[in-house]
Amino acid sequence: MANKEALKALQERLAQRLQDARQQAPARSWLAVDIAGQGFLLPLDQAGEIFSPSALHAVPHSRPWFLGVANLRGQLHGVVDLASFLGMPRLQPALPAVPEGRDPSRLVAFNAALQVNAALWVDRLLGLRNAAALQLAPQGGAGEKPGFMGQTMRDDQGRTWYELNLAALSADDAFLRIDA
């Protein structure tokens, strides 16, 4: 019971911090997440609530990256494995170990304003980031990137971060086609 209360308190603090960050920050701010060992930045104004992984119900004849649907606060949300959607190999990230029985993965729902009931499966939350702590990274010639991928940035520790425009992702044809 204590774990449940501690988790609820943590979620309330995170929700309050996200709300405070949205109201205070005129500059761009992001929720930093780890997906398959890569750093992604989700714009705070496009990210919604954060959930612990819940029971997923498989959807027959759907793409492998569409993990199924989950009941999140009484609403059905499609859950997408972004690493698989982007064709990234599932690697164990070189991050500190977590105590056994504590799964660091989370579901990050899209903001309700985007009018899409979807959530991304992320391996780990890495906190909040703002534009002052990041610099634009040089663009490599690795080919054309999808329209929902924003700028590539680097932090003071040299980690590369990829901005993910959730509004553009929610309108992407490939993202919307879950049928196999």
pLDDT, tens only, 97-147: 444 556 789 999 999 999 999 999 999 999 999 888 899 888 765 567 888
Q: Is residue 4 part of a domain?
A: no
Q: What pLDDT score was predicted for residue 13?
A: 86
Q: Is residue 44 part of a domain?
A: yes
Within 10 angstroms of residue 8's Cβ, the number of other Cβ atoms is 10
Q: What pLDDT score was predicted for residue 139?
A: 72
Q: What pLDDT score was predicted for residue 142?
A: 59
Helix (H) or strand (E) holding 42: strand 38-43
Q: The tokens of 29 are what?
A: 């701010």
Maximum pairwise Cα distance, the chain? 52
Q: What pLDDT score was predicted for residue 8?
A: 83
Q: Is residue 80 part of a domain?
A: yes
The amino acid that residue 71 corresponds to is N
Q: What pLDDT score was predicted for residue 143?
A: 66
Which CATH number covers residue 66? 2.40.50.180
For the cut 90, the answer to whether the pLDDT of residue 35 exceeds it is yes
Reduce the secondary structure of 131-179 to three states and give it as a string: HHHEEECCCCCCCCCCCCEEEEEEECCCCEEEEECHHHHHCCHHHHCCE
Q: Is residue 1 part of a domain?
A: no
Nearby residues of 170 by Cβ (< 8 Å), 6 or more positions away: 110, 114, 116, 118, 176
d(CA 176, CA 172): 6
Q: What pLDDT score was predicted for residue 63?
A: 95
d(CA 166, CA 14): 20
92 or 125: whose pLDDT is higher? 125
Mean pLDDT score of the chain: 86
Q: What pLDDT score was predicted for residue 12?
A: 85
Q: The tokens of 168 are what?
A: 């553009």
Within 10 angstroms of residue 52's Cβ, the number of other Cβ atoms is 11
- Tell me the pTM: 0.76
Q: pLDDT-based confidence at 95, cuts 50/70/90?
A: very low
Q: Is residue 109 part of a domain?
A: yes
Q: Is residue 157 part of a domain?
A: yes
State the residue range of the domain holding 96.
Answer: 28-176
Q: Is residue 125 part of a domain?
A: yes
Total domains in the fold of the chain? 1
Give the residue carrying structure tokens 């993202």: 175
Q: pLDDT-based confidence at 173, cuts 50/70/90?
A: very high
For the cut 70, the answer to whether the pLDDT of residue 84 exceeds it is yes
Q: Is residue 16 part of a domain?
A: no
